[in-house]
Amino acid sequence: MTVAFESPDQSDVIALIADLDAYQDTLYPPESRHVLDMASLKQPNVLFAVARDREGKAVGCGAIVLNPEFGELKRMYVSPLGRGQGVARKLMALLESRAMDLGCKLLKLETGPYQHEALALYLSVGYQHRGTFGGYSDDPLSVFMQKHIAS
């Protein structure tokens, strides 16, 4: 498996993001989903990483949007074929390392309460629960977390 920074506008990555959207559509109403579209993912302040299996197929992705005060983890997803192999941890390690290299000291995220595996992963790699941030409203279908990545 390889994990590297890539452009999000590749056909297999677009299909992976579509799978993520379809999955989240089964869990949350549109007003509780806070996604980045393709144009947003291609902005210069966005780090976008892709995990590929041995055959080169995209099996996971994730992004960090770098803001002056913090980075926000977005679009983390591992396809069912890639689960159980440490893909998400590898994606997060690469993203966090690059964000740190660029001077980011704090990462925040918003996810949903029905994504139990994601919540367990975030807790296991050092994220802690926090209140709302940025433009998010207090929504019972949102869970907010953060992690200090540099002292």
Question: Angle between the 116-124 and 87-101 helix axes, to the nearest 10 degrees?
Answer: 50
Per-residue model confidence as pLDDT tens digits over 20-29: 999 999 999 9
Q: In what order do the strands lie in the sheet with 58-66?
A: 2-5, 46-52, 58-66, 71-78, 106-111, 143-148, 128-130
Superfamily name and number for 2-105: Gcn5-related N-acetyltransferase (GNAT) (3.40.630.30)
Q: What is the pLDDT of residue 2?
A: 96
pLDDT at residue 151 tops 80: no
What is the reported pLDDT for 141?
96
Per-residue confidence (pLDDT) for residue 150, from 0 to 100: 79
pLDDT in tens, 54-108: 999 999 999 999 999 999 999 999 999 899 999 999 999 999 999 999 999 999 9
Q: What percent of the chain has pLDDT over 90?
A: 97
- The residues, ordered by sequence, that sit 6+ positions from 86 with a Cβ below 8 Å of its Cβ are none
What residue ranges do the domains of the chain occupy? 2-105
Structure tokens at 107: 């990462």
Q: What is the pTM of this model?
A: 0.95
pLDDT at 88: 96
